[in-house]
């Protein structure tokens, strides 16, 4: 990538990013990819990420990228939230989060504020910051995944959160980190033309290998191997169970199975899977790797749930992939997998069709004959970081 020197005030431009991070790794990893691309491209640019992720400190960041860790919360299965690490009630945790976000924005004084996915933040915690920045005439962008959820579910959720009025009132642009061939994340919603005119499809966000350090696990893994990853792992037990059962029942699967179960999978489930995998000659397990790109790059194929970041990695490293999506309570992964399968980018194994070993074994055996994404990918599909850099230049020039 070419690094640009921006004259005048832009040499010291500042970008603030917000990621609510109540669950999993997706929001944080997306913000990190964007931040790294921006500082690579623009000399002197600084990026500060506001995040509630409890494991952000386990990731490496480039020079001129830093983060502020706000108190964590977690979403329970019934849809409610609770404080993650503090023994105080949720109301007090949210008040602290809102105060930290607002005061950080006031002191950092960003030239651009990028909000990830939630127009008003968790429980509206970003609205006071949005109001302050709009009073100062600062541009604000909402970054959206290619798929948010099924329209009927998103319609209800966004009505409760008052999201559409927020898009009209506070946001200058909406960046969709995907391609129009995979659908519109706001399809089925009653979106005014004023909001539609703010929407820009960037293409997917490509991922690259670490510049110097590779995964420490690579030397110990038999090659070729199949990477089995449920992302953060908090909701991936069923997927791992299904794939592992296939490895236990079939002795002629083509590749060694590397199960990376994720840091958010419960210890009880991790231990159960480890005990079973230790009894197999053709499988191994690790919990977490902060250089997951290296493991993806060396894999012969991938089995995953189809979250946004894993999908971007599958495309970036040109891997044959079998997607087993989560179907409840959100349908985001299912919709992404269905759309990608229609484009022949991945194979879909829908768990609603029945969880049985025969289906899984046959799917794993046929993976080696699958087309690679590069053979069928539409032009510009992975142009997301380039487009974001271009939009950044336009916005900064317009508002400064």
Query: Residue 169 sits in a domain of what CATH number?
Result: 3.40.50.2000
Any domain includes 212: no
Res. 84: pLDDT tops 80: no
Question: Which structural domain range is residue 113 located in?
Answer: 4-206+383-399
How many other CB atoms sit within 10 Å of the CB of residue 107?
7
Domain identity same for 287 and 248 = yes
Which residues on neighbouring strands pair with residue 236, listed in sequence order? none
Average of per-residue pLDDT across 233-245: 94
186 and 63, same domain (yes or no): yes
- Residue 55 predicted with pLDDT over 60: yes
Does 281 map to a domain? yes
Indicate whether 198 pLDDT > 80: yes
pLDDT band at 223 (very low <50, low <70, confident <90, very high): very high
Asked whether residue 125 is domain-assigned, the answer is: yes
**How much is the average pLDDT of 100-114?**
97
pLDDT of 209 reads 87
Confidence (pLDDT) at 134? 96
> What pLDDT does 10 receive?
60
Domain contains 58: yes
Instruction: Provide the pLDDT confidence category of residue 215 given band limits of 50, 70 and 90.
Output: confident
**Burial call 195-224: b when 16+ CB within 10 Å, e when fewer:** beebbebbbbbbbebeeeeebebeeebeee
Q: Name the domain count of the chain.
A: 2
What pLDDT, on the 0 to 100 scale, is given for residue 80?
A: 65
In a domain, 211, yes or no: no
Tell whether 213 is covered by a domain.
no
pLDDT of residue 83 exceeding 80, the answer is: no
> What is the percent of the chain with per-residue pLDDT over 70, rounded to a whole number?
94
Which among 160, 138, 139 is positioned nearest to 149, based on CA atoms? Answer: 160
- Mean pLDDT across the chain, nearest whole number? 92
Tell whether 347 and 394 lie within a shared domain. no
pLDDT tens, residue by residue, 313-361? 999 999 999 999 999 989 999 999 999 999 999 999 999 999 999 999 9
φ and ψ of 80, to 5 deg: -80, 165
Together in a domain, 114 and 171:
yes
Highest mean pLDDT, choosing among 76-85, 107-116, 290-299:
107-116
Which pLDDT band holds residue 310 (cuts at 50, 70, 90)?
very high
What one-character-per-residue DSSP string does 26-68 give?
Answer: HHHHHHHHHHHHHHHHEET-EEEEEE--TTGGGS---TTEEEE
**Residue that the structure tokens 């503090």 belong to:** 86
């Amino acid at each position: 990538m070419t690094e640009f020197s921006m004259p005048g005030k832009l040499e010291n431009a500042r970008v603030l990013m917000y990621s609510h991070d109540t669950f999993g790794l997706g929001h944080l990893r997306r913000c990190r990819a964007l931040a790294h691309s921006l500082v690579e491209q623009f000399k002197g640019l600084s990026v500060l990420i506001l995040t509630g992720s409890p494991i952000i400190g386990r990731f490496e960041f480039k020079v001129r990228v830093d983060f502020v860790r706000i108190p964590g919360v977690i979403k329970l299965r019934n849809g409610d939230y609770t404080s993650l690490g503090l023994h105080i009630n949720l109301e007090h945790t949210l008040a602290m989060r809102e105060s930290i976000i607002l005061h950080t924005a006031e002191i950092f004084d960003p030239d651009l504020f990028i909000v990830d996915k939630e127009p008003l933040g968790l429980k509206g915690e970003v609205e006071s910051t949005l109001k302050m920045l709009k009073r100062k005439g600062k541009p604000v962008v909402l970054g959206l995944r290619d798929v948010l959820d099924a329209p009927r579910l998103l319609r209800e959720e966004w009505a409760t959160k008052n999201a559409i009025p927020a898009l009209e009132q506070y946001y200058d642009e909406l960046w969709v980190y995907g391609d129009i061939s995979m659908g519109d994340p706001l399809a089925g919603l009653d979106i005014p033309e004023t909001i539609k005119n703010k929407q820009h499809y960037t293409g997917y966000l490509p991922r690259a290998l670490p510049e110097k350090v590779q995964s420490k696990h690579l030397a110990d893994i038999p090659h070729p191997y199949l990477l089995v990853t449920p992302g953060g792992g908090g909701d991936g037990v069923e997927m791992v169970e299904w794939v592992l059962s296939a490895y236990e029942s079939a002795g002629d699967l083509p590749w060694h199975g590397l199960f990376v179960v994720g840091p958010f999978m419960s210890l009880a489930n991790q231990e159960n899977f480890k005990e079973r995998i230790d009894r197999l000659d053709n499988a191994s397990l690790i919990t977490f790797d902060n250089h997951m790109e290296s493991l993806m790059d060396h894999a012969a194929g991938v089995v995953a749930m189809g979250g946004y970041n894993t999908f971007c990695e599958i495309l970036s490293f040109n891997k044959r992939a079998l997607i087993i999506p989560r179907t409840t309570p959100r349908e985001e992964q299912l919709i992404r997998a269905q759309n990608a399968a229609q484009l022949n980018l991945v194979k879909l194994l829908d768990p609603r069709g029945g969880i049985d070993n025969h289906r899984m074994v046959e799917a794993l055996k046929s993976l080696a004959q699958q087309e690679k994404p590069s053979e069928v990918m539409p032009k510009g599909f992975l142009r997301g970081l380039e487009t974001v850099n271009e939009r950044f230049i336009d916005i900064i020039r317009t508002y400064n």
